[in-house]
Structures are given as C-alpha cells and as structure tokens.
Amino acid sequence: HNGWVTSLATSMENPNMLLSGSRDKTLIVWNLTRDESQYGYPKKSLHGHSHIVSDCVISSDGAYALSASWDKTLRLWELSSGTTTRRFVGHTNDVLSVSFSADNRQIVSGSRDRSIKLWNTLGDCKYTITDKGHTEWVSCVRFSPNPQNPVIVSSGWDKLVK
C-alpha cells in the first residue's frame, strides 16, 4: 500500500488469504505463507474506489469481499477475478463500516451520514435506519452470527451500542 492501512479481513474458508484496505483507495489480496523471511505476498490489487477505503470484509465462503469507502459507496468484489460485481450507492457521506450476514445474502453498512442501510447482494437498499438510530457517525456495523435470527448491531460516535 501507498497509504495507511485502515482495515483487515480474513476468511475461515481460506486461512491463507488476507485482505487489506487502505487510505490509498485500494484493497490488496494477500497470500499468507509460513516462510519466516516473508509471511505473505500481495496476490492481487483491487482498484475502483475514488477515496479512502475505510473497511473491508470477506464472505463466509471466501469468494467475495465487501469494501466501504469515503467515496460514499460500498463495492462487492469477486476475489478470484479481482473485479467489482456490484456498486452500492445511497449514503450521503463517508461509509465507515460494512458487514455480510451469516448466509452472505444481506449486507449492512454504517456511515458518517448517521444512517444504517440494509442491502441485498444485487445492490438494492432494502431498508434505511435513521429514526431511533445514532445521533452521530455510525462507526461500526455487524450482523449477529445466527442465520435464523440476523440481528444488526451498531456502534457510533454518540457513545452508544445499538
């Protein structure tokens, strides 16, 4: 990377892969090794965001990644090809956090616009939480790991976990 690294993601499905996001607007897919002289090497660089990448996560099957950016978008990446398969547009300020549901069918994002958005994998925003949400920036969003009851948890600069 040519800028500060802002996020890391790993995959249970592929424990030798690491994904990093950076202020240089890119993500890098790393291949981890057991070689003590070099613990890993960059395999693929993912380009597409026009501003800082603030967060990244890998799908549970290890095939896809999501990235959040200060360009107000999310991107869904196919890791084998390194291409963007979907762009998610709808936030009005920097997107700070992103997460897959346990079954990889839903996506949640949190933003400096104080909203939380629920998306499908086709890039459609299905629900926006603003009422009874955070009064400041939404800094982190996650799904609970239970696929039968996918609860969204969030934290924000208003010092709250919801």
pLDDT of 160 reads 93
**In 3D, which of 98, 77, 1, 84 has the Cα closest to residue 42?**
1
| pLDDT tens for each residue of the chain, 162 residues long | 999 999 999 999 999 999 999 999 999 999 999 888 888 999 999 999 999 999 999 999 999 999 999 999 999 999 999 999 999 999 999 999 999 999 999 999 999 999 999 999 999 999 999 888 899 999 999 999 887 888 999 999 999 999
What lies within 8 Å, CB to CB, of 110 at 6+ separation is: 95, 96, 97, 98, 116, 138, 139, 140, 141, 154, 156
9 close to 65: Cβ distance less than 8 angstroms: yes
pLDDT of 61 reads 94
Domains of the chain and any CATH numbers:
5-156 (2.130.10.10)
Residue 141 CA to its chain's centroid (Å): 10
Angstrom distance (rounded) from CA 68 to CA 65: 10
79 close to 58: Cβ distance less than 8 angstroms: yes
